[in-house]
Structure 1
Amino acid sequence: MKTVFSYAKPYKWPIIIAIILMLTELSVELIQPLLIAKIIDDGILSGDVNVIWTWGSVMMGLAFVALFSGVINSYFAAHAAQSFAFDLRQALFRQVQAFSMATFLRFPTAGLITRLTSDVNMAQNVLFMALRIMMRAPLLVLGSLIMAFVVNVKLALYLLIGAPVLLVFLVIMARKGVGYFSNVQKRLDRVNRVIQENLQAVRLIKAYLRGAYEASRFSKVADYLRRDTVKAMRMMELILPVLLFIMNVSLMAVLWFGAIEIGNGDAQVGELVAIVNYAMRMTGAFSMFAFIIVALSRAKASSERMEEVLLANEDLEHHNSESSSMTRFDGDLRFENVSFHYPGKPEPILDNVSFHVAPGEKLAIMGATGSGKSTLLNLIPRIFEATEGKIYVGGVEVNEWGLKDLRDAIGLVPQQSILFTGSILENLSWGDVEAAPDELEEAAKKAQIHESIDLFPKKYGTRVGQKGVNLSGGQKQRLSIARALVRKPSILILDDSTSALDVKTEMALWESLEKEAATMLVVTQKVQTAIGADHILLLDEGKVVGYGKHADLMKQSALYRKIAESQSEEEAITDVTDHS
C-alpha cells in the first residue's frame, strides 16, 4: 500500500488540517462525559442550578465547535481523497502507456480496466473515510479508555476485560479479509473481461444467435463473483456481533460493580454515568471496526493489484527521454538473421529472417495465417524487440535510434482498423497534430477517401462512432491509411490494410501511393497486389521460404506457385460466373 498512498503526499496540508479538525471533534466527544459527570454530581445532586447552566452552556459551545470541525473536516478530506485518486489514476494510465508490448501482454485488458476504475475508487474511499471516521474510531476507543481511568481507575479496569481477545480477533479477521477480497477483485476482473468480449463481439453474437449461451457464460462468472463476495462479507459480518458481545459483557460488569461501589461510597453517580458513557462510545466505535476492516482489506487487495502495474519497471518505453541527435532516416531497411519469440514461450515466431529494402522500394510480404508477418512488422518500430539478430533502419541499428525519432518517421496501418470517437478531422490529425487542414485533405485524397468524406453532411466534421461503427470496413481502412500518410513517413507499413477495398479503389490507391517517397512494406494475401512490388518476401512458420520478384518466385518456390495458381483459378471461376 505504501507505493499507492505515496500519491497522497502532495496533499499533506489538506490531510493535516483534516486530521487536526478530526482530533478537535474527537476531543469534544471525549470531554463531554466528564462535563456530564460534573453536572450530575455538582449540579443536579447538589441542587446547584448555576453549575448546571454554566457547564451546560460549555457543552453547547463545544457541540458547535465539533459541528464546525466536522463540516470543515469533510471538505478537506474530500479534496485530498479526490485529488489523490486523480493523480493515482493518471499515474496508472501513464504507466500502462509506457509499457512495452511484452509487459502489456502480462496484464489482461479487463484487469487493467478494473485497476484504473474500481481499485482506484477503493483506495480513494479508504483515504476519505480514514480522514473522516476510520482514524477516529480506534482513537475514540483508546481515548475513551484513557478518560475512563481518569474518572475512576477501578471501574475502568472492567472495560479491559475483553481487550486481549478483541485485539487477537481483529488481527486474524483483518488478515483473512485481505485474502478474501483479493479473490473478489480477481472475480471482478473476469466479469469485466466477459462483458468486454461481449460488447466487442455483439454483432457476431447476434448473427450466430449466441445470446442465450453468452448470457449463461456471464451468469456463471457473475455467480462466482457473488459467491466469493458473500463468503467474504459473511466472514466480516462476524466481527460486529463478537465485538458487541464482548463490550456488552464489559459494560454489564461496569454497571454491576459500579452500583456496589456507589453503595459503599467509593464512587459517585456521575463517575458511573461517565464510565458508562465512555463504554457506550467504545461500543459505537467498535461497531465501526467491521466496516473499517472490510474497507482496509479491500483497499489492501486493490493496492497490491495497482502496485503490480506501478512497479512494473523492467521494460518501459521512454519516448521523450530517448530522443537522438540523428536526422530523419531515408527509409533503408535491413533485417540480418532476425529471430523472435514471445517472453516465456520458447517457440520462435520468426526464425533467422534476412532481407533488404532500399529507400523508396515496395516490399510485399505474403504467407499463411500465423507465419509471422505482423510480428515482423512490429519489430521495425520496436513495438517488440528482436530476440536475436539485427535490424537496421536508415543504415543505423534500430536500437540506436531514439524511440520518438524512430516512430515519428514510420506510418503504421494495422490489420484491424482502429478509429477513435471524435470527428474525421480529429482522427486524421491523430497522425500529426501539427498538420494543416489542407495536408489532411491531401492525405485523404491519396488514400481515396476524400470523395466519400465529401458526401457526408458535415464532411470532415462528421463524428466517428466508437471504433468507427458508423463507417464501412473499406472507409475505415482508407481513413487509417490517410492517417498514416499525414505523418509523411519514411517507412509506410500496411498490414493487410486493403482487404476491404474493391479492385478499382485498390488500384487507384496503389497508383497514388507510387508517388510517395516512402519505403513501403505491404502485407497482402493477393498475388495481384504482390506483383506490383519491387520484391516479395514469402514466410512460412516464421522462416523465409522465398524472396524475389514475382517471376523469380514462380520459378523457385512451389508454395508461391500454389498460391498464385489457386488465386488464378478463383479469378477464372469469378469471370465465368460474372459472364453467365
Structure 2
Amino acid sequence: MLDWLVRAIHADNRDQLRRGFEWLYRFVRPQRRAIGGLLALSLLASLLVLLQPWLTKLLIDEGLLARDYGMLVTMALTMILVGVLGTALGGVNRYLHTRLSGRILFALRGDLYAHLQKLSPAFFGQRRIGDLLSRIDGDVAEIQRFAVDSLFSAVSSIIGLIGALIMMLTLSPQLSLLVLVLIPLEVLWLRWMRRKVELRARRVRERSADLSSFLVETLPAMKFIQSVGQERRERGHLDRHSDNYLADLLKLQVTEFFTHAIPGTLTSLTRAAAFLIGGWWVINGQWQLGSLIAFSTYLGMATGPVNSLLGLYVAIQRMSVSLGRVSELRQAPVSITSDETPLQLPADLRGDVEFSDLSFAYPGREQPVFEGVDCRIGAGEKVALSGASGVGKSTLIDLLQRHFDPTRGSIRLDGIDLKRLSLTDLRRAVAVVSQDITLFRGTLADNIRYAAPGASDEQVLEAARQARLGEMIEALPQGLETLMGERGQQLSGGQRQRIA
C-alpha cells in the first residue's frame, strides 16, 4: 500500500516521502480501534443515505401513482425514521472524528517539536523562525487533514460509489454505462493536472513561510522600528510579502478551479443525458417516474464520490508538499547527544572545569573561533574572560553546556569528560546568565522558577532578593504573581536582566 502511494505521488525525493509516510503511520497505527469504529459508523451512515432514494421511488410509484394511501404513510414514516437515525449517527460521527483528528494532530506536532528541542543552536541559526512556524503549524495540519479527513472521505466515497452503482444497475443497466464512461475521462484529466497543483501548492507554502518570518522578525522589534522612524518602510515590506502571497494563492485557486471544473462539467452533462434518455422512456411508458427520480439521485450519489475521490488525488499532491517540508525537519540530524550509558554527576560535585587543547569552528566555517585552549578553573574561583568581540567568550560557555562539541580537545567537569555525562544533568549543573535575555509570558514567579519548577515560594522570593528585585516586587500590584507580558516587555532592561 505504501509503495503504491509513493509511486502515485509525483515527488522529487521519493525516499524522503516514504520516510515521511512511515513517520505518519507511527501515529495513525495506535488509533486503529478508533478508526475502525468510525469506519463502521461511516458504513452505516452511507447505507442509510443509499436507502433514501429507494424509499422515494416506492413512495412515488407504489404510493402516489398507485393511489395506495397506506403505502404512502408507511414510506413517509420510514423516511422520517431513517432521517432521524442518519442525523444521530452524523452527530456521533462528527464528535468522534474531531477527537481522533485532535489526537493525531497534537501527537504529530508534539513529536516534531520534541525533535526540534534536540537540535543544536547551529540548526536554528540557519533557519527562519517563521518558516519553522509554518511547518509546525500549517504543514502538520495539512498532513493531519489527509491522514484523517481524507481517509474517511475516501472510505465514504467508495462505499457511496459502490452502493450507488449497484442501485443504478438494478434500476437501469443501460443508463449506468454513462458513469463508466465518465470516470476514465476525469482520471485522465486529473493525472495531467496533478503536477501543476503540486507546484502551485509548494509556492503558496513558501510564500506563507516568508510572511510568517517577516512578522516574527518585526513584531518583537517594533520599538526599534518606531525609534528610527521606519514604520512606512516595514509596511511596504509587509505589502510586498502579502502581494506575493496573494498572487501565488490566486494562481493556485485558478489551477484548482480548472482541475475541478472539467470533471464538474462532465458530471453535469452526464446527468443531463440521463434525464433526457430516462425522461423519454417515462413519456413512452417504458419506465416509471419514481425510477427516473431515484436513478437521477443515485447518479448524483455516484458522481459526487467520483469527484471526491479525484479531488483526493489532488489533495494527496498538496499533502505531499507539506509532508516533504515536515520530513526535512524531522530528518535533521541530532548532532549533540548523551552517551549511550551516561555517567551520573557525583553527589559531591565540586565544579572543577578543565579545558584541554580545545579548538572549535562553527559548522560550515573553515576559520576556527579559537585553537589549542588549555585552562583549568578550580571550584569556587572567579574568572573573567576578556577579549574583543567575536574571539569566542560566549562560544566557550556554549561548549561548556554542550550546545556544540569542540572540533578538537575536551572539556572535563571534576575530571569527567562532558561527553560522558547526561545532557540534562550537565545543563542543570551549569547556571548561565546570558547576554540574550529570555523571559516567557507568565508571572514573575513562573520565570524565576523556570529552571527549577519545584522551587517553593520562599526559595523564589530569596532568589529575587539576591538579584536585587526586592523593591521592584514590593512596587508591583500583585508582587511575584504579577503578569509580565510576552518577553517581559513591561519591564526595564535591567529588571529583565536580573530576572533572567
TM > 0.5 fold call: yes
The structure 2 residue matched to 1:324, chosen from 311, 326, 344, is 344
1:345 CA displacement = 2.9
The TM-score with structure 1 as length reference comes to 0.75
Residue aligning to 1:358 = 378
- Counterpart position of 1:282: 302
Q: How many residues align?
A: 480
Aligned to 1:308: 328
Shift of 1:288: 5.0
User: Which secondary structure state, in structure 2, belongs to the residue aligned with residue 467 of structure 1?
Assistant: helix
2: CA distance, partners of 1:315 / 1:142: 52
Matched AA of 1:278: Y
Amino acid at match of 1:167: V
Corresponding residue number in structure 2 for 1:547: none
Structure 1, unaligned runs of 5 or more = 481-580
The aligned residue for residue 524 of structure 1 is: none
Displacement after TM superposition at 1:82 (Å):
1.9
Q: TM-score if structure 2 supplies the norm length?
A: 0.86
Alpha carbons 1:320, 1:404 under 8 Å: kept: no
Equivalent position of 2:11 in the other structure: none
Q: Is contact 2:338–2:422 with CA below 8 Å preserved after alignment?
A: no
- The more displaced of 163-172 and 343-352 is 343-352
Q: Between Structure 1 and Structure 2, whose CA radius of gyration is higher?
A: 1
1:231 aligns with 2:251: yes
Distance, in Å, in 2 between the alignment partners of 1:410 and 1:285 is 61
- Give the CA deviation at 1:235: 0.5
Matched, 1:410 2:430: yes
Q: What is the distance in 1 between the residues matched to 2:42 and 2:28?
A: 18
CA distance in 1: counterparts of 2:40 and 2:425, whole angstroms: 51
With over 3 angstroms needed to count, the CA separation of the structure-2 counterparts of 1:197 and 1:321, relative to structure 1, is farther
Q: How many angstroms does 1:461 deviate by?
A: 3.2
Summarize the alignment of residues 180-199 of structure 1 with structure 2, pairs less than 5 Å apart: 180-199=200-219
1-side partners of 2:310 and 2:252: how far apart? 12
The CA deviation string for residues 75-111 of structure 1, in whole angstroms up to 9 with x for no partner, is 1111111222232232222222222323444542212
Residue 210 of structure 1: aligned partner: 230
Change (3 A) 1:41 1:304: same
What are the Cα deviations for residues 373-397 of structure 1, in whole angstroms up to 9, with x where unaligned? 2112100110111122212221121
Distance 1:478 1:262 in 2: 88
One-letter code aligned to 2:450? W
Q: In 1, distance between residues paired with 2:229 and 2:341? A: 51
Which of the residues 154, 172, 180 maps onto 1:152? 172
Q: Is the 8 A contact 1:421 1:465 kept in 2?
A: yes
Q: 1:425 to 1:54 in 2, by over 3 A?
A: closer
Whichever residue aligns with residue 356 of structure 1, its letter is: R
Whole-angstrom CA distance in 1 between matches of 2:493 and 2:312: 52
Q: Which residue identity is paired with 1:248?
A: S
CA distance in 1, matches of 2:469, 2:339: 31
Match of 1:119 among 134, 139, 143: 139
Give the corresponding residue for 1:102.
122
Provide the secondary structure at the position in 1 that maps to 2:72.
Answer: helix
* Superposed displacement of residue 370, structure 1: 2.0
Q: Tell me the distance in 1 between the aligned counterparts of 2:281 and 2:341.
A: 76
Q: Identity of aligned pairs, percent?
A: 27
Match of 1:526 in 2: none
- CA distance in structure 2 between the partners assigned to 1:106 and 1:303 by the alignment: 21
Matches within 5 A, 1:377-388: 377-388=397-408
CA shift for structure 1 position 321: 8.2
Q: Is 2:45 the counterpart of 1:18?
A: no
Deviates more, 1:253-262 or 1:151-160: 253-262
* Counterpart for residue 394 of structure 2: 374
Aligned partner of residue 453 in structure 2, secondary structure:
coil
Which residue of structure 2 lines up, in the alignment, with residue 273 of structure 1? 293
Q: How many angstroms apart in 1 are the aligned matches of 2:107 and 2:385?
A: 44
Going from structure 1 to structure 2, the CA distance change for 1:275 and 1:329 (only over 3 Å counts) comes to same
- Which 10-residue stretch deviates more, 234-243 or 446-455? 446-455
Q: What CA distance in whole angstroms lies between the structure 2 residues aligned with 1:321 and 1:455?
A: 50
Higher relative contact order (CA 8 A, sep 6+): 2
Structure-2 residue corresponding to 1:4: 24
The Cα shift of 1:231 comes to: 0.8
CA–CA separation in structure 2 for the residues paired with 1:468 and 1:264: 82
RMSD of the TM alignment (CA)? Answer: 3.0
Amino acid at match of 2:415: G
Q: Could you list the per-position Cα deviations for residues 299-349 of structure 1 after superposition, in whole angstroms to 9, with x for gaps in the alignment?
A: 443333333333435436469985626445322222222222232333323
Cα distance in structure 1, aligned partners of 2:371 and 2:45: 70
Deviation at 1:448, TM superposition (A): 3.4
Q: Which residue of 2 aligns with 1:477?
A: 497
**Counterpart in the other structure of 2:98:** 78
Q: 2: distance between equivalents of 1:35 and 1:23?
A: 19
Q: Distance in 2 between matches of 1:321 and 1:147?
A: 65
Q: Is 1:166 the equivalent of 2:200?
A: no
1:575 matched residue in structure 2: none
* TM alignment of 1:404-553, pairs within 5 A: 404-480=424-500
Alpha-carbon separation, structure 1, partners of 2:391 and 2:380: 26
Q: Give the C-alpha shift of residue 13 in structure 1.
A: 3.3
Task: Find the aligned partners of 1:457 and 1:262 in 2 and give their Cα distance.
Answer: 83
Q: Does 1:391 align with 2:411?
A: yes
